[in-house]
C-alpha cells in the first residue's frame, strides 16, 4: 500500500506543478487564472478521493484476510496452554 500512496502523491504533485507552470506561463486575466485554479483543485480533490476509496477497499480486503488467518490460529492458541499444562503434569506426576 505504501507504493500506492507514493504513486498517488507523485501523480498529484506532478499535476499540481505542471498546472502551476502552465498558469504562470500563460498570459490570462486574473479571473481566468482563478477559474483554472479552482477547476484544477476540484480535479485534484476528485483524484485524491478516488485514491482514498481504493486504499479503503484494499484495507478492508487486508483486514478480512488477517481475520481469516486469525480464525485458523485461535484453536491452536487456545489449545497450546492446555498442552503445556499437560506436559507439566506428566513431568510432575
Give domain limits for the chain.
2-92
Q: What is the pTM of this model?
A: 0.47
**Distance between CA atoms of residues 12 and 40, nearest Å:** 11
The pLDDT score that the predictor gives to residue 85 is 59
Q: In terms of pLDDT, which residue wins out, 45 or 8?
A: 45
pLDDT at 47 over 80: yes
Contact 56, 66 (CB under 8 A): no
60 CB-side CA count, 13 A: 6
pLDDT band at 77 (very low <50, low <70, confident <90, very high): low
Contact at 8 Å (CB) between 37 and 21?
no
In three-state secondary structure terms, 55 is helix
Question: In this structure, what C-alpha cell is assigned to residue 9?
Answer: 502523491
> pLDDT tens for residues 7-23?
777 787 788 788 777 77
pLDDT at site 61: 92
Amino acid at each position: 500500500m505504501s507504493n500506492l500512496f507514493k504513486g498517488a502523491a507523485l501523480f498529484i504533485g506532478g499535476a499540481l506543478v505542471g498546472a502551476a507552470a502552465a498558469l504562470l506561463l500563460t498570459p490570462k486575466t486574473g479571473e481566468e487564472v482563478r477559474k483554472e485554479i479552482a477547476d484544477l483543485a476540484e480535479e485534484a480533490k476528485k483524484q485524491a478521493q478516488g485514491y482514498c476509496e481504493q486504499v479503503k477497499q484494499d484495507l478492508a480486503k487486508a483486514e478480512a484476510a488477517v481475520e481469516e488467518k486469525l480464525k485458523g490460529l485461535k484453536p491452536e492458541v487456545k489449545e497450546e496452554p492446555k498442552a503445556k499444562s499437560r506436559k507439566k503434569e506428566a513431568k510432575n506426576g
